[in-house]
Structure 1
Amino acid sequence: MILLYTASDYPLDDNEKTVLKALKKIFGKAPLTQPAPDGAASSGTPETEEDRHDDHLVRTKNFQPRRAKKKPKPPLSPKPVEPAWKLQDFQVESMAGKTRFHDFKLAPELMHAIHDQGFTYCTPIQAQVLGHTLKGKDAIGRAQTGTGKTAAFLISIITQLLETPTPEERYMGEPRALIIAPTRELVVQIAKDAETLTRYTKLNVMSFVGGMDFDKQLRLLESKFCDILVATPGRLLDFHQRGEVHLDMVEVMVLDEADRMLDMGFIPQVRQIIRQTPHKGERQTLLFSATFTEDVMNLARQWTVEPAIVEIEPENVASDTVEQHVYAVSSSDKYRLLYNLVSRNDWVRVMVFANRKDEVRYIEEHLSKDGISAAQMSGDVPQHKRIRVLEGFREGKIRVLVATDVAGRGIHVDGISHVINYTLPETPDDYVHRIGRTGRAGSSGTSISFAGEDDAFALPAIERLLGRKIACEMPPAELLVPVSRNT
């Protein structure tokens, strides 16, 4: 590349002047001159398109390419500033027998998020648990899903993390709070609730579950500090064994649905995890379970220090807001009864429970074949599909969700109008948990159980748990007509 300078910029000797004249003659260019000031007449020959192109090759200490003058933009009108939220915006009157969130010392950021959710008074489990955990005590809670226990331990965790200064030296993969849950769906739901409640804080929430992209979860972990980690036992151990997660800074640990983790054989993995956390006297431990079996209480004694015990009776959850029915029906008539109930009543959001995966698959396939949008939820369904299924069910695109008890534990969907027990569960507590999918947050719901020759034996134990009889009736004849199929 040849750089050309003007004579005014660099004094030329005679030989150089001769060379410059020769170059001008060869290329036929007009003499290069200093550009005229803006508004002054320019000297030399008229500028051509080729000249303008060459201007980009010429650089002098005083030369700058001409720029088109921009018209000044009109000043932008200032955006209206939203008034800052104040605790005074969250007014809840005192009421006898009710506990308000105002009755606890909670940070304004947390109260703002609680206000956004429309919460006013604590549920019984929240009022009792927070009364102990906000004082730093360990706690064991017995409550079904739908009672507000998730918000209880999340509010306690968030308060602890906001009140305690963050350690100065800390790795990305060192969570301050750890929540372990048995199913992927439950982990996803807890993490979603945690993100909602931490919205106005600087706390980061992460969730680790199997069946999802490991590298994607790892990149998230490497991008920012993790304050609250929600995980299934297996995937958490994967991260820990690879040295990506360190649990030595855990201040609060929560074990949710401890009885289900026992049933699913997760306790050996949970023991490995807990050994990596600080000693039980140096962390706060909260344990929740739908049942207080001897095995659950043994675990609680090992992992907690003088815990407060909070129990919410399942019959209060099961009977107050859910209308319960039992149909005596032969096993061969169960499917046509299910189909006719859903199709003739035009129900939109229905959950069907069965005991075995093959039953779940059979029900879903036949409903889909007979024109009712249905999907299944069991351990055989990949995680990415499970998330899509739940979203479709929430949005009403899927009318019937068929699930096993294990998969159903993590399903939190508002607006479920009916729960149908295609087969009665062998464990009475599972019955209470199943019908708790409807009638949530004070709304009403209906459960219908099919009692056949193979599972009617489970009904007496369920009634003993509820403390009352459930009338068993014969289904109307029109609900047992054969399913008409277009062949």
Structure 2
Amino acid sequence: MTKQNKRYRRPRWHISQFKVEEVPGKVRFHDLFLPIALMRAIQEVGYEYCSPIQAMTLPYALAGHDCIGKAQTGTGKTAAFLITAITDLLEHRLEEQYVGEPRALILAPTRELALQIAEDAKALTKYSRLKVAAVVGGMDFDKQKQQLHEQRTDILVATPGRLIDFMNRKAVFLDQIEMLIIDEADRMLDMGFIPDIKTIVRATPRTENRQTLLFSATFSQDILNLAQRWTNDPVRVEVEPKVKTAEDVEQHVYLVSSEEKYPVLRRIVRQDEADRVMVFANRRDIVRDLAENLKKDGIPCQVLSGDVPQNKRIRTLDGFKEGKFEVLVATDVAGRGIHVDGVSHVINFTLPEDPEDYVHRIGRTGRAGKKGVSISFACEDDSFQIPAIEEYIKRKIDLEQVPEHMLDDESAAAMVVEKAAEKAAKAEADQAAAAQTAAEAEQPSETSEPVVADASETETSEPVKAVDNAAAETPVEDATAAEPEAPVGEVTAIDVAESEDGPEITVEVFVQESDDTDEGTADSEATKTDSDKA
């Protein structure tokens, strides 16, 4: 083999490179005997132990059982069904596969969630030859079609409407589907997608010839009826989160009138601690009006709602993640499946009609162990939503009056000025301390002991030595009565002056005469001074 034809081969990865200690009560991914290529990707994304939904679902799903799972967003269900699908496809390879014929289909209710699932799938298939594609509405149809026809597709992530468009144009065929996954089925039901999903399911193989995984945040009777029709003897898994609202989120609900909402919002986003803010409203027209008013007031912001084209929504999210603007005003389309680190505040301009959306909204802050703040406005219209939210999150919501510094622009401005003054005073104090430290470091000294720059405030051993020397040279009336170790007197004043030869220290000492002297002079005060060149 010539040097030109020699191919570089990467070192083979071994499972021994992925070490995870056994912990009682926890399930490691090692314990599930997953394919090596998948385990390598799992190590790279940072997974070590299964979450509760993963630990309960994967043993059954990997064994080929249908599953219906009840789990909230953020519990790890995405990884649960992706690991199942990837394992199945790797262990059962096809000798021949045509373009436009995916083997696994994942349905999601929103474009953002579908794209997020596709990103996670690509990360987990990084070291395998499986191909992932996404077809969602609001993006270029021809580009998505070209992507499907250029190469085979193993895992297809789709929103129902766009998938039916591809099916009607004979660009996608579902007769080879081995695994069907329906995520957030309750959301599909609420958004009116059930007729489309029925059409899609009918195009796939029969229930006994495919594996079906269905996940929902709630198990309503409608969801259970659909699960019975679309699954074959399913295993039912339910995982309730211990805490439905994030512990790292400081929650406030302010009682305001409709007219006070926007002025209070404007003052909140102008606070120094409001680094990155997400503002939620229930309707698109409210979102547009809020964004326009914020821009007029000089606050950089962008809109994220269902009527924004998909490519622009992706650019908007990227810009917000990169800190190109401070405020993102959104409908609930951004409340699920969107992960943006560093969001300091979430503001509910209007309280959501669905209590679950409240949890999803405030979950955008307080992530990755960082503290966050959630502020909700409750006016005469929104207050009706509070009891349902309290029942859902299993805790009482304390209604608060708006803080005084948010009530009017003058108070808000005064608050900003006060904080600026505090910062300036602290900076000035730090600067003075640094200057004093530098002066002490530059002060000349004959000994290794430090010389104090301001002797009127602090006494050190150096001036005391000067006093002792002066006392030794000063004659005492009764030298025999004086003990060598006895103190000369009390230092009453120390003065430091600069001279051409260096700092000059003057020490004033009060000396009490001994009892052996004459009575006339026993109570007299004697002042002795000495100048010592430092």
Query: What is the alpha-carbon distance in structure 2 between the residues aligned to residue 96 and residue 415 of structure 1?
Result: 34
Aligned to 2:265: 338
Aligned to 1:325: 252
Structure 1 residues 414 and 296, CA gap change in structure 2 (3 angstroms): farther
- Whose Rg is larger? 2
* 1:208 counterpart (135, 149, 154): 135
Aligned to 1:156: 84
8 Å CA contact 1:146–1:441 kept in 2: the answer is no
8 Å CA contact 1:315–1:467 kept in 2: the answer is no
Query: What is the alpha-carbon distance in structure 2 between the residues aligned to residue 323 and residue 121 of structure 1?
Result: 29
* 1:132 counterpart (60, 82, 92): 60
Alignment of 1:43-442 (within 5 A): 83-166=11-94, 168-314=95-241, 316-440=243-367
Worse-superposed segment, 312-321 or 230-239? 312-321
- 1:320 Cα deviation after fit: 3.5
RMSD across aligned positions (CA): 2.3
8 Å CA contact 1:144–1:433 kept in 2: the answer is no
Worse-superposed segment, 308-317 or 250-259? 308-317
Q: Which amino acid aligns with 1:185?
A: E
Cα shift readout 1:324-374 (whole Å, capped 9, x = no counterpart) = 221222221112222222221342332221111111111222222222221
Aligned length: 409
Query: What is the alpha-carbon distance in structure 2 between the residues aligned to residue 253 and residue 442 of structure 1?
Result: 35
- 1:245 Cα deviation after fit: 0.8
SS in 1 for 2:243: helix
Of structures 1 and 2, the one scoring higher in RCO (CA 8 A, sep 6+) is 1
Q: Which amino acid aligns with 2:409?
A: P
Structure 1 residues 387 and 207, CA gap change in structure 2 (3 angstroms): same
Worse-superposed segment, 426-435 or 354-363? 426-435
SS in 2 for 1:316: coil
Query: What is the alpha-carbon distance in structure 2 between the residues aligned to residue 115 and residue 237 of structure 1?
Result: 36
8 Å CA contact 1:350–1:418 kept in 2: the answer is yes
Residue 463 (structure 1) aligned with residue 380 (structure 2): no
Query: What is the alpha-carbon distance in structure 1 between the residues aligned to residue 249 and residue 15 of structure 2?
Result: 35
Aligned to 2:373: 446
SS in 2 for 1:175: coil
Name the structure where strand makes up a greater proportion of residues: 2
Q: Which amino acid aligns with 1:358?
A: D
Structure 1 residues 441 and 309, CA gap change in structure 2 (3 angstroms): farther
Query: What is the alpha-carbon distance in structure 2 between the residues aligned to residue 367 and residue 98 of structure 1?
Result: 48
Query: What is the alpha-carbon distance in structure 2 between the residues aligned to residue 142 and residue 221 of structure 1?
Result: 32
Cα shift readout 1:2-44 (whole Å, capped 9, x = no counterpart) = xxxxxxxxxxxxxxxxxxxxxxxxxxxxxxxxxxxxxxxxxxx
Q: Which amino acid aligns with 1:105?
A: F
- 1:143 Cα deviation after fit: 2.0
Query: What is the alpha-carbon distance in structure 2 between the residues aligned to residue 185 and residue 154 of structure 1?
Result: 17
Aligned to 2:438: none
Q: TM-score, normalised by structure 1?
A: 0.79
Q: Which amino acid aligns with 1:215?
A: D
Worse-superposed segment, 179-188 or 427-436? 427-436
Structure 1 residues 373 and 231, CA gap change in structure 2 (3 angstroms): same
Structure 1 residues 226 and 105, CA gap change in structure 2 (3 angstroms): same
Cα shift readout 1:223-281 (whole Å, capped 9, x = no counterpart) = 11000000111111111111111101111111111111111111101100000001111
SS in 1 for 2:270: helix
Query: What is the alpha-carbon distance in structure 2 between the residues aligned to residue 153 and residue 440 of structure 1?
Result: 23
Could you tell me which runs of 5 or more consecutive residues in structure 2 were left unpaired when the two chains were aligned.
414-534
Structure 1 residues 296 and 345, CA gap change in structure 2 (3 angstroms): farther
- 1:193 Cα deviation after fit: 0.9
Structure 1 residues 342 and 154, CA gap change in structure 2 (3 angstroms): same
8 Å CA contact 1:261–1:267 kept in 2: the answer is yes
8 Å CA contact 2:246–2:363 kept in 1: the answer is no
Query: What is the alpha-carbon distance in structure 2 between the residues aligned to residue 296 and residue 433 of structure 1?
Result: 21
Structure 1 residues 444 and 254, CA gap change in structure 2 (3 angstroms): farther
Cα shift readout 1:405-432 (whole Å, capped 9, x = no counterpart) = 2443342323333322111111212212
Q: TM-score, normalised by structure 2?
A: 0.73
Worse-superposed segment, 89-98 or 267-276? 89-98
Could you tell me which runs of 5 or more consecutive residues in structure 1 were left unpaired when the two chains were aligned.
1-74
- 1:475 Cα deviation after fit: 2.1
Structure 1 residues 372 and 272, CA gap change in structure 2 (3 angstroms): same
Q: Which amino acid aligns with 1:142?
A: K
